[in-house]
Amino acid sequence: MYAVVDVETTGTKTSWHDRIVEIAVVRVDEYGHVRDEWCTVVNPDRDLGPQEIHGITAAEARRAPSFAELAGQIVERLAGHAIVAHNLHFDAGFLTAEFGKLGYQVPIAAGRGLCTMQLAAHFLPTAARSLQACRTAAGLPAHRAHSALHDARAAAELLMHYLRESASPPPWAPLVHEARRVAWPDLPVTGVAPVTRRRPEDREPHFLTRLVDRLPRLRDPRADSYLELLDHALLDRHISVSEADQLVDTADRLGLARADVELLHRQYLTSLAAIAFEDLIVTADERRDLDSVAGLLGLTGADVEVALTVAREAPGPTRTSWRLNPGDTVVFTGSMNPSREIWEADAARHGLNTGDNVTKKTRLLVAADPDSMSGKAKKARQYGVPIVHPSAYKAMLKSLVPAV
């Protein structure tokens, strides 16, 4: 009877190309009892905007289905139901825009559904506009805001409160009857599976587990392209989901078995150990860094000890350490805190150039989320430009080599 909807978005304006990044639909009966619920993260194919608000990472979004892939499932859940949302104008506007991008018109105009925020003027006249304020005025407990599923559930409970307080049938009964008859576009329902948010304790499986054990193995894999990619991935001492995908794809393309990649990882760790041992002293910070890299590469503290032993006993040429130099061009992307203008001014003080777009001459892309799907991030991956988190970039500034 009712389909309670909530969306999380990259911003507040469809006219600024903002997109849906999560959608939930909770269907309830005439009494407000939940019949079923459905929720998925949506890949917006762009930067995710204020991630500090909606809390969705690019790692989650980049592996989620697009709205186009979900459109049929969404229609299937909304058709024949009265659409309900808290601030229906906002949710209806984004749904209309998303379907419009696919060339379809859908009957989700604000006047054709129920808005629990507007209904509060009648049922909760002293309440403020927010969903939480309305729930508090209705005697309902606090809920987890800025999660599509939790917000949809919360709005559904608020609708149940209104149904209990209203006459039977409720004054909006004609709207419910009309919703049963209104036509929706006939869209194919794909079998794409919804992608829900990860719990904080859930971790991405190590990318080594995705490599196959090929036979025969390469005895001496000369995988410079893999090691160069590894250099870029480890600049910020973090391997993003995007970087892990690239490493797996590169290993597959080169025909590297898992054993080959593990050998390359040990060689890489030995090179880092040799760099740390160049002054004949491995500091506590350098040891922590080696342990951190070992963990990212699927190695252990014992492997670090072996790498340090090799570095002590057989000093020799090592891989050149990547670093920023004055005159290098850096580009920033994503919702930055402080503002991007402040980051760019600080870069200029350190002798760096800043760019509005990524080109082949760009030295580094600093991304609020290294898994970003922004246009700049896509260009950076295309050109092999390293992508790092702002915290790693700040650490690089400390070791910036002064101009000679």
Q: Is the pLDDT of residue 127 over 70?
A: yes
Please report the pLDDT score of residue 22 as a whole number: 97
Q: Any idea which of 115-124, 133-142, 276-285, 340-349 has the lowest mean pLDDT?
A: 276-285
Domains contained in the chain, CATH given = 2-181 (3.30.420.10), 207-313 (no CATH), 329-398 (3.40.50.10190)
More confident residue, 52 or 315: 52
Please report the pLDDT score of residue 222 as a whole number: 63
At residue 404 the predicted structure's pLDDT band, cuts being 50, 70 and 90, is very low
- What is the C-alpha separation between 50 and 336, in angstroms, rounded? 9
Q: Any idea which of 7-11, 76-80, 142-146, 320-324 has the lowest mean pLDDT?
A: 320-324
Please report the pLDDT score of residue 344 as a whole number: 93
Q: Is the pLDDT of residue 365 over 70?
A: yes
At residue 320 the predicted structure's pLDDT band, cuts being 50, 70 and 90, is low
Please report the pLDDT score of residue 8 as a whole number: 96
Q: Which residues lie closer than 8 Å to 190 by C-beta, 6 or more apart?
A: 65, 69, 70, 72, 73
Q: What is the tens place of the pLDDT at every residue in 131-183?
A: 999 999 999 999 988 899 999 999 999 999 999 999 889 999 999 999 999 99
Instruction: Tell me whether residue 298 is exposed, middle or buried, using C-beta atoms within 10 angstroms of its C-beta: 0 to 12, 13 to 18, 19 or more.
Output: middle
Q: What is the mean pLDDT of the chain?
A: 89
- DSSP, res 43: B
Q: Is the pLDDT of residue 384 over 70?
A: yes
pLDDT (mean) for 304-321:
75
How far is the CA of 192 from the CAs of 41, 69, 71, 210, in angstroms?
A: 12, 7, 11, 22
Q: Tell how strand 114-115 and strand 20-28 pair up.
A: unpaired
Q: What is the tens place of the pLDDT at every residue in 47-61?
A: 888 888 888 988 889
- Locate 319 and state its tokens: 């891989």
Q: Any idea which of 30-39, 63-72, 267-276 has the lowest mean pLDDT?
A: 267-276
Q: Is the pLDDT of residue 356 over 50?
A: yes
Query: Could you tell me how far CA 370 lies from the centroid of its own chain?
Result: 9
Q: What is the tens place of the pLDDT at every residue in 211-238?
A: 766 555 555 566 788 888 898 889 888 8
